[in-house]
């Protein structure tokens, strides 16, 4: 007589479940709605920064349209609502200078993407077409 074994699927979000250093949970909308899509190209750029500069975290992940409307100064058609943008925070300050990351990004990805440098973080998006650069630090 064989005993049947019951399998239960459990969905666990662990560090590195979508790439070496990032998980889907880090990309999820902060309102809890479940919007956690991941753009492959964005994740590739974030992995590049992580490999080159060390510890970074996603401090501004995806946003559903409803949550985006609650963010002060957020663009109505923000790339965050399309899973094509993330704000990154540098965890090894002052060792890692945000301006150095910005300069690296602008040089390496010349002619591509959007980078906005703030005081201690940087917005990254993988917009199609012409690149966008701005320093608000």
18 falls within a domain: no
Residue 12 covered by a domain:
no
Domain CATH for 49 = 3.30.1380.10
Its domain, for residue 108, covers 24-135
Domain presence at residue 4: no
CA separation, residue 41 to residues 5, 73, 76, 111, 123 (Å) = 41, 25, 22, 15, 15
Stretch 25-31: mean pLDDT: 93
Distance from C-alpha of 32 to C-alpha of 67, rounded to nearest angstrom: 10
Rounded to the nearest 10 degrees, the angle between the axes of helix 40-53 and helix 98-108 is 130
In a domain, 13, yes or no: no
Contact 62, 37 (CB under 8 A): yes
- Total number of domains constituting the chain: 1
- Rounded to a whole number of angstroms, the distance between the first and last alpha carbons of the chain is 71
Q: What is the mean pLDDT of residues 17-28?
A: 90
Structure-token pair, residue 117:
């440098």
pLDDT-derived band at 120 (thresholds 50, 70, 90) equals: confident
Query: Tell me, what's the pLDDT at 98?
Result: 85
Cβ atoms of residues 110 and 83 within 8 Å:
no
pLDDT value of residue 35:
94
Q: What does the pLDDT average to over 3-17?
A: 46
Give me the mean pLDDT over the 91-116 stretch. Answer: 89
- Considering the domain boundaries, does residue 6 fall inside one? no
Provide the pLDDT for residue 96: 76
Question: How much of the chain exceeds pLDDT 70, in percent?
Answer: 88
pLDDT for the residue numbered 107: 97
- Please indicate, yes or no, if residue 8 is contained in any of the structural domains: no
Q: Would you say residue 40 lies in a domain?
A: yes
Q: Please check whether residue 14 lies inside any domain of the structure.
A: no
Q: For residue range 35-77, what is the model confidence (pLDDT) as tens digits?
A: 999 899 999 999 999 999 888 889 999 999 999 999 998 999 9
């Amino acid at each position: 007589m064989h005993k049947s074994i019951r399998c239960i699927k459990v969905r666990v979000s662990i560090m590195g479940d979508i790439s070496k250093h990032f998980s889907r949970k880090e990309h999820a909308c902060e309102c809890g709605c479940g919007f956690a899509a991941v753009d492959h190209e964005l994740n590739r750029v974030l992995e590049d920064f992580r490999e080159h500069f060390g510890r970074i975290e996603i401090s501004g992940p995806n946003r559903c349209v409803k949550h985006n409307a609650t963010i002060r100064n957020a663009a109505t058609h923000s790339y965050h609502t399309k899973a094509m943008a993330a704000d990154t925070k540098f965890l090894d300050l002052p060792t890692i200078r945000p301006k150095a990351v910005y300069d690296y990004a602008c040089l390496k990805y010349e002619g591509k993407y959007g980078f906005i440098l703030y005081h201690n973080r940087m917005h990254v998006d993988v917009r199609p077409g012409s690149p966008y650069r701005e320093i608000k630090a």
